[in-house]
């Protein structure tokens, strides 16, 4: 079937919930994807920070193939070997003692919200249930997680929202202190705000938040759905700030492309959940856990990939900063951590995204005016150079196109 016909059928049969680009992608290898009409694209979206090892990484593909031949799904009413192995590795390489598996970042954050409330109510009483989150945050699209999300555009039309959330400016410790009441049970933050525009906190922000949580006996929940699994050059982004949370959520890059999420927590907090409190039919099934285990092991293998991500992130950011210096009328700021980077624009981002697509480059925009880059962690300098050269050409001819 021709690409145009497929796009027409997409519009006919699928709910209109995405602003899709006019391309049908059918194949991927490494940092490249290929469309139905045979065109090659360098992928700087990475499935929105999902394809950390690139497309169809050999170890991930083999792990999926082997597991699919053995056992695809079995209920969590029974013990699952790949799930146990994955949980063990996550605990070994994090602050956590226990893991709960689900299917997405939103579900992981739902689990975190439920656990924080249940733990706090059991320990402090029924009046301890409020969670402080940040303006510009994004925590998912369920009713609970869009309520936790500090952006009205995701909440509009879905009222009434869930009670028990308070919002403060990101990277503002004083605002958090003012928002804390006797009802506060947790503070939920992203180490770097992804959907909010790749917003980076000051170096001491999270240490102060951690201290505040300790002094007030409040749980710290870190949403590492977008920043975890090596995205920032560390396995988890909070490692950059020298702190550990009580609860952490991950997803996106965890499965190497398959849908899996996880909530990690300490034993102290985990004790609040017992059988029947929370569950997921597909959460942590054999197939996705085999893929995630292969992904995690590859990231951790000899430390090369994390170091590579760090180096490529620094190179990429420097190139973006040079671009910002050369085009101050169009670019407000270049910022990022590892391979999660943003270019804040004063012109129409959609026009630039569309222009890049025509040139064989996949990028996307977020927060209205920020170009976001979250390529596979295996990206190399020549690919970054190609993107920068094309962005430079697009901006030089912005009003002529």
pLDDT reported for residue 302: 81
Catalytic residues: 138, 223, 252
- How many Cβ atoms are within 10 Å of 268's Cβ, its own excluded? 12
Query: What would the pLDDT profile of 41-54 be if each residue is shown by its tens digit?
Result: 999 999 999 999 99
pLDDT reported for residue 166: 98
DSSP letter string over 229-262? TTTTSSSSGGGGGT---SEEEE-GGGGBTB--EE
What is this structure's pTM?
0.97
Separation of alpha carbons 149 and 274, rounded Å: 27
pLDDT reported for residue 303: 85
> Are the beta carbons of 335 and 345 closer than 8 angstroms?
no
pLDDT reported for residue 401: 62
Cα 295 to Cα 6, 155, 305, 312: the distances in Å are: 32, 34, 11, 19
> Domains of the chain by range and CATH?
3-57+303-400 (3.90.1150.10), 58-302 (3.40.640.10)
Low-confidence ranges of the chain (pLDDT < 50): none
Separation of alpha carbons 48 and 236, rounded Å: 17
Separation of alpha carbons 245 and 388, rounded Å: 36
Strand order across the 25-29 sheet: 25-29, 32-35, 40-43, 361-362
Closest of 103, 108, 100 to residue 274, by C-alpha: 100
Closest of 358, 367, 346 to residue 393, by C-alpha: 358
């Amino acid at each position: 079937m021709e690409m145009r016909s497929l796009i027409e059928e997409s519009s006919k049969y699928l709910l209109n919930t995405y602003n899709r680009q006019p391309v049908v992608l059918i194949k991927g290898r490494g940092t490249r994807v290929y469309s139905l009409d045979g065109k090659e694209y360098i992928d700087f979206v990475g499935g929105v920070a999902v394809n950390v090892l690139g497309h169809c990484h050999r170890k991930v593909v083999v792990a999926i193939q082997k597991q699919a031949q053995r056992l695809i799904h079995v209920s969590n009413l029974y013990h699952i070997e790949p799930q146990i192995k994955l949980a063990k590795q996550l605990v070994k390489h994090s602050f956590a003692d226990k893991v709960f598996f689900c299917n997405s970042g939103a579900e992981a954050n739902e689990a975190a919200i439920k656990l924080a409330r249940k733990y706090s109510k059991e320990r402090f009483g029924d009046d301890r249930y409020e969670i402080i989150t940040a303006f510009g945050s994004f925590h998912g699209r369920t009713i609970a997680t869009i309520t936790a999300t500090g952006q009205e555009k995701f909440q509009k039309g879905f009222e009434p929202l869930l009670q028990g959330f308070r919002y403060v400016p990101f990277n503002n410790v004083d605002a958090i202190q003012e928002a804390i009441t006797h009802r506060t049970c947790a503070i939920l933050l992203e180490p770097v705000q992804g959907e909010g525009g790749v917003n980076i906190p000051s170096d001491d922000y999270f240490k102060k938040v951690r201290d505040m949580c300790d002094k007030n006996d409040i749980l710290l929940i870190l949403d590492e759905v977008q920043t975890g699994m090596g995205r920032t050059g560390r396995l988890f982004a909070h490692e950059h700030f020298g702190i550990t949370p009580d609860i952490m959520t991950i997803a996106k890059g965890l499965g190497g492309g398959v849908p899996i999420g996880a909530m990690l927590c300490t034993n102290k907090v985990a004790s609040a959940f017992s059988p029947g409190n929370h569950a997921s039919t597909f959460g942590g099934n054999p197939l996705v856990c085999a893929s995630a285990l292969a992904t995690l092991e590859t990231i951790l293998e000899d430390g090369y990939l994390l170091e590579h991500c760090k180096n490529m992130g620094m190179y990429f950011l420097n190139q973006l900063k040079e671009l910002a210096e050369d085009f101050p009328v169009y670019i407000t700021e270049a910022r990022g951590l590892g391979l999660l980077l943003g270019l804040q624009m004063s012109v129409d981002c959609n026009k630039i995204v569309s222009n890049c697509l025509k040139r064989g480059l996949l990028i996307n925009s977020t927060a209205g005016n920020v170009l976001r880059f979250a390529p596979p962690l295996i990206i190399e300098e020549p690919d970054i150079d190609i993107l920068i050269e094309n962005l430079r050409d697009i901006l030089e001819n912005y009003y002529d196109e």
